[in-house]
Amino acid sequence: METVVNGLKTTMLLAALTALFMALGFTFGGTGGALIALLVAAGMNLVTYWNADRIVLSMHGAKEVDAASAPDFYGLVAELAQRANLPMPKVYLVDSPNPNAFATGRDPEHAAVAATTGLLAMLTREEVAGVMAHELGHVRNRDTLIMTMVATIAGAISMIANFGLFFGGNRGNGNAVAGLLAVFLAPFAAMIVQMAISRTREYGADRAGAEISGNPAALASALAKISGAARRIPNQFAERNPAAAQLYIVPVGLSEMFSTHPATEKRIAALNAMAPGRPLQKRPSALDPLNRSDF
């Protein structure tokens, strides 16, 4: 039921974002501009639907691994996917000291999960299991596609608004004022919609991750370890593509007000409340350390 409700909310938010994109087109080009904006938005949605995983993975220079190249990490993801009743996703490693992870793909049958080498070096196997279970929670809740689509449209809104700042002010004072308002308000509105989607979904993925891994305390511990490091250690991918920050398990270099995630402290408190005083039932295989030679 929760997945259905989230799906409806997401559809409404995505429709609002598309309407905002059309409004910008109308502001700068009248009816024709609105039509063009609608076609562009539809085209972006279609392209992103079929290529979301490729876009994100290529953006990060991710390398696919398997049971031969990274047996412990791949086996851990396979075990978690089985517990979650999900098809086995493709598994990737990103060569980056910034400790983070993300999931992408248009549906559970075409999903991919990735972790950075920095994350695997920093966490215990139990904590890595919690993080990857969180990412599989995004896959199970069908978050990955819509978050990528929203990031794409939000980026396009900012681009067209900036374009309008330089070329949209020559159609009279009224249109010039409307253009200036669109330039400053539209990207902010797009950011608010983007945050509304991502913040709600992070709590849902945390709950799902705790259930899949069977250990909310391990996920809480992982969040505590990597949240500070993720801000201190540069993330070249997020610096080049800021919209990618919403995909990570923890935010990158942003204040809480402008973050696409809830405050990490609030997420940790919610996880600890799931099993006060002790973690949920642990799985024996999650207690062994990861074989660092895999990475």
Q: What are the structural domain ranges in the chain?
A: 59-156+184-294
Q: Is 199 left (phi over 0), alpha (psi -120 to 50) or beta?
A: alpha
pLDDT above 70 as % of the chain: 69
Pick from 17, 41, 80, 97: nearest CA to 214: 80
Model confidence band, residue 43 (pLDDT cutoffs 50, 70, 90): confident
Helix H segments across the chain?
Answer: 2-60, 71-83, 117-122, 125-140, 144-167, 173-213, 216-232, 236-240, 264-274
Q: Which two tokens stand for residue 103?
A: 């999931």
> Would you name the residues annotated as active-site residues?
135
- The mean pLDDT of the chain is 80
Mean pLDDT of the region 262-271: 91
What is the fold of 59-156+184-294?
Zincin-like (3.30.2010)
The answer on pLDDT for 132 being more than 90 is: yes
